[in-house]
Amino acid sequence: MASLQYREIDGRSGAFHVLVATLGIFIAAGLAAAWVMEHEGHYVTGMSNRIVWGTPHVFAVFLIVAASGALNVASIASVFGRDLYKPLARLSALLAITLLAGGLAVLVLDLGRPDRLIVAMTHYNFKSIFAWNIFLYTGFFAVVALYLWTMFERRMNVHGRRVGLAAFLWRLVLTTGTGSIFGFLVAREPYDSALLAPLFIVMSFSFGLAIFVLVLMAACEWTGRALGDVVLNRLRKLLGVFVATVLYFVAVHHLTNLYIARQHDVERFFLWDGGIYPLLFWLGQVLVGGIVPLALLFGATSRRAIPAAAVCVILGGLAQLYVLIIGGQAYPQLMFPEKEVASSFFDGVVASYAPSLPEVALGAGGVALALALTAVALKVLPFLPLSLADGDVDSAAA
């Protein structure tokens, strides 16, 4: 790997300034949306006392899960000894930090009272998975920052494998914790499943790699750096495997619920008669997020098929989390099992929800923040190799 040279991007072109300015507009819109939601109250959103996690949570969880998966490329290089991925490790770790920062920014600003985060960070209820995640998220920042230090500092290179292993294990625990937020909610029939933890792990692999591929291809294209077919084809196959694995776990999850008699109503809601949620499941999650990417990745040979597939994976992932998070709350909560309940408080009625502009703006602002941090970091520090051409990568991997 000594032949590889890293250099920061120039960042003086008009296109770079337009990119940063555009991202800044989205960030400002997200901050404005948070201000409106805090000062006017959450009645300006589509959320209610029945659906308390709305569209901002979809974006936040997506970014947090993707942050874990973005580190996968660096883990393959250091933990599993695949030299082909070593030139990509710095960018992989950078995206892990920036995506997590964007996701947590949305999460904090969606609280309604962001200042209460101080209470959450100073008073812990260790019976709550949310308290655990405070340590998991902050610890992830620290571990990945240390991981980057071993990559940038030559004298620290010898510790890269051990720190990489720690980062790999930490991100598995982090994603397990994020999935367990929903899996531990036994009062919600759509959530109560031990399969959600491994499902979130494979989702992170897919979402994170899709974002990594798009950022890598865009950065190389806009800076005139060579990106050979060897690297792209390896990433193409890896992304295809992850997409197929997500589809497999989703199928197992629903087949397991169909096997359990008391879950038949839940499955009917999500798969058939739940209104917008079956539509998003079949068209958004399964078709756009699964079948189309697999067809593009394994059936097409054009380089353009790879970013197209990555975009489909991201859109399908957002649809998947929308169905899981919001659909899981919209489904009527079973208050008294095996009892008939009648009241004027919408018992047994599907909760209505429609995303509002402030919610979408806040979520998009978090995505823009993650991308803006990535762009600025690429300009300040050498995260990208000067060349990823086939000959350079082959000699480095050898």
Half-sphere exposure of 171 (CA within 13 A, CB side): 31
Average pLDDT over residues 147-173: 93
Model pLDDT for residues 350-362, shown as the tens digit of each residue: 889 999 999 999 9
For residues 167 and 392, the model is more confident at: 167
Residue 227 bridge partners (DSSP) = 388
**pLDDT-based confidence at 334, cuts 50/70/90?**
confident
Instruction: Give the Cα separation of 34 and 45 in Å (integer).
Output: 11
Q: What is the CA radius of gyration of the chain?
A: 22
58 pLDDT above the threshold of 70: yes
295 pLDDT above the threshold of 50: yes
Classify domain 14-332+349-391 at the CATH class level.
mainly alpha
298 pLDDT above the threshold of 60: yes
**pLDDT-based confidence at 12, cuts 50/70/90?**
confident
Q: In a 3-state reduction of DSSP, which class is residue 304?
A: coil
Phi and psi at residue 6, to the nearest 5°: -105, 145
Instruction: Give the Cα separation of 384 and 5 in Å (integer).
Output: 9
pLDDT > 90: what percent of the chain?
A: 67
Tokens for 315?
């859109």
Instruction: Give the Cα separation of 398 and 394 in Å (integer).
Output: 6
- Tell whether the torsion through CA atoms of 332, 338, 340 and 341 is positive or negative: negative
Q: Are 287 and 23 in contact (CB under 8 A)?
A: no
396 pLDDT above the threshold of 60: no
Helix, strand, coil % in the chain, rounded to nearest 5: 75, 0, 25
Instruction: Give the Cα separation of 203 and 213 in Å (integer).
Output: 15
Q: In a 3-state reduction of DSSP, which class is residue 227?
A: strand
Q: Are 204 and 69 in contact (CB under 8 A)?
A: yes
Model pLDDT for residues 106-144, shown as the tens digit of each residue: 998 887 666 777 776 777 777 777 778 888 999 999 999
89 pLDDT above the threshold of 50: yes
282 pLDDT above the threshold of 50: yes
Nearest CA among 209, 254, 256, 264 for reference residue 231: 209
Model pLDDT for residues 216-257, shown as the tens digit of each residue: 999 999 999 999 999 999 999 999 999 999 999 999 999 999
What integer pLDDT is reported at residue 398 of this predicted model?
44
Q: In a 3-state reduction of DSSP, which class is residue 53?
A: coil
Instruction: Give the Cα separation of 154 and 6 in Å (integer).
Output: 13
What integer pLDDT is reported at residue 1 of this predicted model?
45
Q: Are 171 and 208 in contact (CB under 8 A)?
A: no
- Tell whether the torsion through CA atoms of 370, 373, 376 and 380 is positive or negative: negative
181 pLDDT above the threshold of 90: no
Instruction: Give the Cα separation of 105 and 103 in Å (integer).
Output: 5
User: What average pLDDT does the structure give for the chain?
Assistant: 90
What integer pLDDT is reported at residue 393 of this predicted model?
75
Instruction: Give the Cα separation of 70 and 204 in Å (integer).
Output: 8
Amino acid at 48: S
**pLDDT-based confidence at 345, cuts 50/70/90?**
low
Q: What is the four-CA torsion angle of 103, 112, 321, 193, rounded to 10 degrees?
A: 110
**pLDDT-based confidence at 297, cuts 50/70/90?**
very high
Rounded to whole angstroms, what are the CA distances from 179 to 9, 219, 255, 355, 394?
36, 31, 19, 23, 38
323 pLDDT above the threshold of 90: yes
